[in-house]
Amino acid sequence: MSWTKLALKAHIPGAILLIIFAAIALPAQIDPDPNSPVPILLSSEKDPVRVLALPLTAAMPDGDVEPQNAFLLGDTIRAYVSGIELIPGEGAGAFRIYATDGKKHMYRFPVVAVSEVKAKSPTYELRFTIRDEIGFWEQPSEDGDLLIMVTWRGLASNQLLLGVGKTGGLKIRRDSNESSKFGGGAQPEDYVGYRWSGDRVRFLEQATFGPNDALDQRIRRIGIRAWLAEQFQAPYPSASNPYPDIPLMPANINSGCPQNRGTPESNLCIRTHYSLYPLQIWFFKEAFYGDTQLRHRVAWALSQLWVTSFPTIQQSSHMIAYHKILSQNAFGNYRTLMKDMTLNPAMGDYLDMARSTKNSPNENYAREVLQLFTIGLFMLNPDGTYQLDINNEPIPTYDQDTVNNFTKVFTGWTFCNTGCPNSTLGAVNYKDPLVLNQNNHDVNSKSLLSYPNAVNPTIPSGQNGNAELDLALDNIFHHPNVGPFVSKFLIQHLVTSDPTPAYVGRVAAVFNDNGQGIRGDLKSVVRAILLDPEARGDIKTDPNYGKLREPVQMTTNFYRQFNVTSADGTQQSDGYVSPLPTLMSQTPFSAPTVFNYYPPNYVVPGTTLLAPEFGLMNTGSSIARVNIATFMSFSSVTVDNRNPPNAPMGTSIDISALTQVAQNDPTANQLLNELNYKMMHGTMSQQMRDSILTAVLSVPQTSPDVRVRTALFLIASSSQYQIQR
C-alpha cells in the first residue's frame, strides 16, 4: 500500500472532519507579553485611530499635534513609534512598515531613516515612503485609507489609518488604540528572552530538529548560552549512530551488484550502495536521537547551500563523504569549507570540475561557486540589501569574462584513483579530495573579482594550480558580499525567511570579524543568529515573521515532540521516514537542481512576503501536508515485508503521558494547555483552541487515545503550527 493511501486510510472520527479546514486556516490571535518591548505606533489625541503622520517640512511635534490625514503616492513622510529601545547601530533597517487596503492586500513601505525624539525619549521618528518596495503596488485602484502597522524584531505594533490621496473607506474603533497616543506606552523592562518557556521551545525549533522534554528541561536549567557552548564541543555524530562505512563500488550497477535481480542479496546490494537509503536512515536517526543537534541542523542547512544531489551522485558512499565535509566545517571557517567543498569528489562530479581541463574547460562550478555558494549575482550592502546604480538598478557582481577566468582556475583536477587512502581498484574514488594534474591546468594569467581593496584580483601566468586555487578562493572569500550572503541564508534556514536588514547586518558583521579579527568563523555566526534579539523572545506578532516548516523539519519536529520510537514502542525507530517528506516535495539529499529544493529569493506571488520554503507549496503538497499530519498522528510506519525490509523496526509516537492527561480531565483543557506549550509555545489563538476543543470533546472520554490523536492532528495540520515562528 502506498504512503498516500495509508495516510488517507488512517481513522479520524467523522465529527472532526467538519472543522478540520476551519482550524487549518485560522489567523494568529496572540497578545504580546506585557513585559516585552512592543512597538506602539502613535496617533494624535484628537484622532486616536489615525496615525500621527507629518510631511518632512512640518515642525517637530510637541505634545498634541494634528496629523496630516492624507498623502500622495511617492511621498516620504514622518511617523512616530514608542515602547521600544534600540541597540547601538540599530536603524532604519530594523523596522518595516506594512499597509493593508480594503481588499486585504498588504504592501511594504520602505523605511528610509529613523531618529530618536530626544524630548520624548524613548520615542522614535520613522521616515518612510508611500510606495511598495517589492513593486506589487504600482498605483492604488481606489485612493483612501490604509491600515498602517510597524514591525520591529518580529513584533507588530497597533494599526492606525493613513490616507493615500484621500481619507475614507476603512473604519476602526476609536477606542482600539488608546495606548498609541503620543508618548504613550510604559517603559519596558530589560528583556532576556531565554528565561521564558515559550522562547525555549522556539529556540529548540531553530537550533535542533525539534524540541523534546529532555532538552527543554536542560536549557531551563543551564540556559541557551551554556547549551550552545556544549553543542560546539560535542562529538559528532553520536557514538551510537556513526556514519555508515560503505565501500566504493564500480559505477556500473551490474558490475557492483551482479546477483540475480530481485533476490534478497541483489536488493540489499543495490539499496546499500546505489541508493540514498543508508544516508537517509542515518540522517533521520541522528535527527531523532542525536545529542549534537545543532551541528546536524547547521550541516543540513549547508547542504542546501552547497548542493549536490542524487541521482547524479549515484552511490551512498559518495554522498556520505560529501556530508562529512559539511558537518566537519559546520562550526569551522567558511574559507576552509570553500576549499574542502571545491575539492570534494561529489561536487567535482555534480558540477563537472573533475572533468574540466585546459583543452576542454567546463564553467559549471566556476559559475555556481560565485552565484550560489558565496557572493550572489548582485552587489550587496553590509545588511544584505542591493547596492543600486544611478538608475536604481542592482549592480552585477561579475560578468561572463569573470566566469571564464575562474573556469581556467578550476581546470586540471580529477579523482584520486591511485595512491590515496581510499583508492579502490575498479571504482572511482569519491572519498578522498580531488588531485591536480598540472598538465591539464590552464597556466595563463587570470583576472578575477574586482572590488574595493580586492584580494588577489589577478593571477600571473605560469602558476601551479594548487597555488592558484588558494589565490582564487581567497579572492572570493574576501569579497564584501560573502558575509551578508551567507549570513542571510543561514538566518533563513534557522530562524525566519525574511529577516530585516538590521538582523542580517548584525550577523554579517560577526562573519566579517568574530571579535578576534577572524573572518568567516561559522561558530560565531551561528551563535549570533540564534542569540540575536530578532530571533529571541516568547512570541513574535509580526504576521510575516517566521518560516514554513520545510517537509524534513515538519517530520522531525513532530516525531521528536512525542518521543519517537519503533512501531511497537519497545526500541528506537529505524529512521525510515524519508517517504513522508518526499510526499511533501522534499526528498532528503535529492534536490531537483543545484538551486536546491526552493530558491532563497522566492516571494509568494502577489505578496511582499519573502518565503523560500513556499516554493515547495502547491495544491498537491499542501494536501500532502494534511495527509502526513494525519498519518503521523493516527498511524505508524510499520515493519514492512520486503526482503530485506526497509523498515525493520518502524516508527511511531509515544503519547502515553498525554493519554493519561486526557483520561483524567474530562474538560480536555489540560490536554490543550500541554499541547499549546509543546507544539505552539503558548501562542495558540482562542479561536483555534475553541475549534479544537469542540472536536476533542466530540470524542468520548472513554477513548482518551483518540482524543489525544485528534488534537495532535488538528494542531499539526494548522497554519499556525506549520509556520515556525
Distances (CA, A) of 661 to 138, 217, 652, 673, 674: 54, 20, 19, 10, 9
pLDDT digits (tens, 9 = 90+) for 271-294: 999 999 999 999 999 999 999 999
SS3 assignment, position 115: strand
Asked if residue 291 belongs to a domain, the reply is yes
Cα–Cα–Cα angle for 69, 70, 72, nearest 5°? 160
Residue of 589, 539, 575 lying closest to 725 (CA atoms): 539
Report how far residue 55's alpha carbon sits from residue 344's, in angstroms, rounded to the nearest whole number. Answer: 58
Domain encompassing residue 118 = 40-185
Which tops the pLDDT comparison, 335 or 169?
335
Residue of 475, 456, 465 lying closest to 397 (CA atoms): 475
Report how far residue 319's alpha carbon sits from residue 313's, in angstroms, rounded to the nearest whole number. Answer: 7
Please name the residue ranges forming H helices in 569-724: 579-583, 619-634, 656-664, 669-680, 686-697, 704-716, 719-722
Residue 299: enclosing H or E segment and its boundaries?
A: helix 293-303
Cα–Cα–Cα angle for 651, 653, 658, nearest 5°? 170
Mean per-residue pLDDT, 504-527: 98
DSSP, residue by residue, 316-346: HHHHHHHHHHHHHHTTSBHHHHHHHHHT-HH
DSSP, residue by residue, 131-189: S-TTSS-SS-SS-EEEEEEEEETTEEEEEEEEEESB--S----TTTTGGGBTT-SPPPP
Please name the residue ranges forming H helices in 410-549: 465-477, 482-494, 501-512, 522-531
Judged by average pLDDT, the poorest of 107-121, 163-177, 230-244, 651-665 is 163-177
Whether 556 and 705 share a structural domain: yes
Mean per-residue pLDDT, 110-119: 88
Interacting residues of 305 by C-beta distance below 8 A, sequence separation 6+: 372, 373, 486, 489, 596
CB-CB contact of 625 with 554 (8 Å): yes
Asked if residue 263 belongs to a domain, the reply is no
CB-CB contact of 160 with 50 (8 Å): yes
Whether 496 and 521 share a structural domain: yes
Distances (CA, A) of 327 to 186, 237, 407, 525, 714: 46, 9, 27, 15, 35
The pLDDT score that the predictor gives to residue 232 is 98
The residue type found at 502 is: A
The pLDDT score that the predictor gives to residue 470 is 98
**Predicted confidence band of residue 133 (pLDDT cuts 50, 70, 90):** confident
Report how far residue 354's alpha carbon sits from residue 364's, in angstroms, rounded to the nearest whole number. Answer: 11
Mean per-residue pLDDT, 20-26: 36
DSSP, residue by residue, 383-400: TSPBPB-TTS-BPBS--H
Asked if residue 113 belongs to a domain, the reply is yes
Whether 74 and 162 share a structural domain: yes
The pLDDT score that the predictor gives to residue 598 is 95
Of the chain, the percentage scoring pLDDT greater than 70 comes to 89
Whether 45 and 173 share a structural domain: yes
Whether 451 and 555 share a structural domain: no
The pLDDT score that the predictor gives to residue 90 is 94
pLDDT digits (tens, 9 = 90+) for 599-626: 999 998 877 789 999 999 999 999 999 9
Judged by average pLDDT, the poorest of 206-210, 251-255, 439-443, 477-481 is 251-255
Asked if residue 77 belongs to a domain, the reply is yes
Report how far residue 54's alpha carbon sits from residue 179's, in angstroms, rounded to the nearest whole number. Answer: 20
Judged by average pLDDT, the poorest of 165-174, 548-557, 563-572, 710-719 is 165-174
The pLDDT score that the predictor gives to residue 22 is 36
Distances (CA, A) of 159 to 50, 141, 144: 9, 21, 16
10 Å CB burial of residue 319 (0-12, 13-18, 19+) is buried
Whether 320 and 425 share a structural domain: yes
* Mean per-residue pLDDT over the chain, rounded: 89
Whether the bond into 533 is cis, omega within 30 of 0 = no
Asked if residue 10 belongs to a domain, the reply is yes
Whether 143 and 224 share a structural domain: no
CB-CB contact of 404 with 363 (8 Å): yes
SS3 assignment, position 109: strand
Report how far residue 122's alpha carbon sits from residue 286's, in angstroms, rounded to the nearest whole number. Answer: 47
pLDDT digits (tens, 9 = 90+) for 671-706: 999 999 999 999 999 999 999 999 999 999 999 999
Asked if residue 190 belongs to a domain, the reply is no
**Predicted confidence band of residue 196 (pLDDT cuts 50, 70, 90):** low
Residue with cell 499530519: 629
Asked if residue 684 belongs to a domain, the reply is yes
SS3 assignment, position 52: coil
Judged by average pLDDT, the poorest of 4-18, 381-395, 509-523, 689-703 is 4-18
Whether the predicted pLDDT of 15 surpasses 60:
no
Residue of 157, 201, 138 lying closest to 52 (CA atoms): 157
3-state helix, strand, coil in the chain (%, to 5): 40, 15, 50
Report how far residue 468's alpha carbon sits from residue 277's, in angstroms, rounded to the nearest whole number. Answer: 38
The pLDDT score that the predictor gives to residue 61 is 59
Whether 552 and 439 share a structural domain: no
Report how far residue 186's alpha carbon sits from residue 184's, in angstroms, rounded to the nearest whole number. Answer: 7
Whether the bond into 460 is cis, omega within 30 of 0 = no
The pLDDT score that the predictor gives to residue 197 is 83
Asked if residue 536 belongs to a domain, the reply is no
**Predicted confidence band of residue 178 (pLDDT cuts 50, 70, 90):** very low
Which tops the pLDDT comparison, 488 or 188?
488
- How many structural domains are present in the chain? 4
Instruction: Find the CATH number of the domain harbouring 86.
Output: 2.60.40
Whether 13 and 99 share a structural domain: no
Whether the predicted pLDDT of 8 surpasses 80:
no
Whether 202 and 174 share a structural domain: no
The pLDDT score that the predictor gives to residue 126 is 96
Whether the predicted pLDDT of 1 surpasses 50:
no
Whether 673 and 655 share a structural domain: yes
CB-CB contact of 613 with 530 (8 Å): no
The pLDDT score that the predictor gives to residue 167 is 86
Rg (CA), the chain: 28
**Predicted confidence band of residue 9 (pLDDT cuts 50, 70, 90):** very low
The pLDDT score that the predictor gives to residue 185 is 31
Whether the predicted pLDDT of 188 surpasses 60:
no
Whether 214 and 175 share a structural domain: no
